[in-house]
Amino acid sequence: MDLDLRKLRYFVAVADQLHFGRAAEELHIAQPVLSRQIKALEQDLGASLFTRDRHGVALTDAGRQLSAEAGPLLASALAVRRRVSEAARGSRRLVIGFRAGVAVIPAARAFEARHPDVVVDVQRIEWGDQAPLLLDGRIDVGYVRLPIDETGLRVTPLYTEPRVAVLPTGHRWAGKGEVTEADLAGEPLVWHGDPSTQPTRRPHPDAGYRVRGVDETLEHVAAGRGISFLPRSTTVFHSHPDVTYVAVRDLAPDQVCLAVAASRTSPLVDAFVAAARAAAEITAECGNYEMWQRAGDSVSRHG
């Protein structure tokens, strides 16, 4: 029997809440209706998804497996609906997501030279948006920075670039041309994700602030709440009067990749990915915007 997406959405709500009453409120349906739909889904799959006892609701092994796979499946279905709607309107459009500091225009120019009938739109994305926006079809191709949850995605390494330390202007190392990881050891870190994703070999204590983007990072660092690390190209586009950027000699580089939903098959997407890879190969100087512009001109002429 085919998997019913409506029942799957109901399952996800219960799996997130681990409470049938709260899930029913979130879905704006009656709790008995939700319970019947979950039971019907369990019958469809031939597996129990939840255990229910006086201690509450918990996922079974089968439930945990379905929970891990349900998100990408629902996102893929939503993406299909978006693309069908666009095709029905006769539009030919690509939405390219990019992280701060990544220059998209060189590849866009090269692509548009070969596909003048396609509108290329660009959208800034933050760390936590990378995978969701690709999976649900709101962007077609993403310039992403690792780490990223690659479930349901095709991820292609594009280039690496150095990282720099982000320090308040009054910091003892702010006037240096270069520091090492050891110089910064023990400094509280303002970071956008799980502490395990820190780019240093010397773990830093968590400053206790979760930031979504570069602007928030700079504000917290400027206030003296900690230090941070950013890709060098990001510093070309973002400055702050109370923040200083300092090179870190032995810090691991940042990895920029191209990402596409694994379920996404499109000659136009493939053509843009090819243009982006060609632009990246022309210059080894990552993060230098003028060189990236020249790369775009070169790809347009010779790509």
Do 234 and 263 fall into the same domain? no
Quick check: is 293 in a domain?
yes
Quick check: is 45 in a domain?
yes
Q: Which residues contact 274 (CB under 8 A, 6 or more apart)?
A: 303
Q: Which residues contact 147 (CB under 8 A, 6 or more apart)?
A: 193, 197
The residue from 41, 76, 111 where one domain ends is 76
CATH code of the domain in which 25 resides: 1.10.10.10
The residue from 42, 76, 110 where one domain ends is 76
Do 59 and 33 fall into the same domain? yes
CATH code of the domain in which 275 resides: 3.40.190.10
pLDDT means over runs of 10, the chain (303 residues): 81 91 90 91 91 88 88 75 65 87 91 92 90 89 93 92 95 93 94 82 87 92 95 90 95 94 88 93 52 43 43
Quick check: is 82 in a domain?
no
What is the predicted pLDDT for the residue at 193? Answer: 76
Quick check: is 84 in a domain?
no
Do 34 and 180 fall into the same domain? no
CA distance 294 to 300: 10
Structural domains of the chain, count: 3
What is the predicted pLDDT for the residue at 286? Answer: 44
Do 16 and 65 fall into the same domain? yes
Query: Pick from 151, 11, 149: which is nearest to 67 by CA?
Result: 11
Do 139 and 197 fall into the same domain? no
Do 228 and 283 fall into the same domain? no
Do 149 and 167 fall into the same domain? no
Q: Tokens for 17?
A: 């809440």
Q: Tokens for 150?
A: 């690659």
Quick check: is 219 in a domain?
yes
Which pTM does this prediction carry?
0.67
Do 143 and 186 fall into the same domain? no
> What single-letter amino acid sits at 88?
A
Q: Residue 94: exposed, middle, or buried by beta-carbon count in 10 A (0-12, 13-18, 19+)?
A: buried
What is the predicted pLDDT for the residue at 290? Answer: 44
Range of the domain at 103: 92-153+259-302
Quick check: is 225 in a domain?
yes
CA 72 remoteness from chain centre: 14
Quick check: is 41 in a domain?
yes
CA distance 97 to 99: 7
What is the predicted pLDDT for the residue at 294? Answer: 45
Do 41 and 187 fall into the same domain? no
What is the predicted pLDDT for the residue at 255? Answer: 93
Do 33 and 96 fall into the same domain? no
CA distance 135 to 262: 8
CA distance 23 to 126: 28
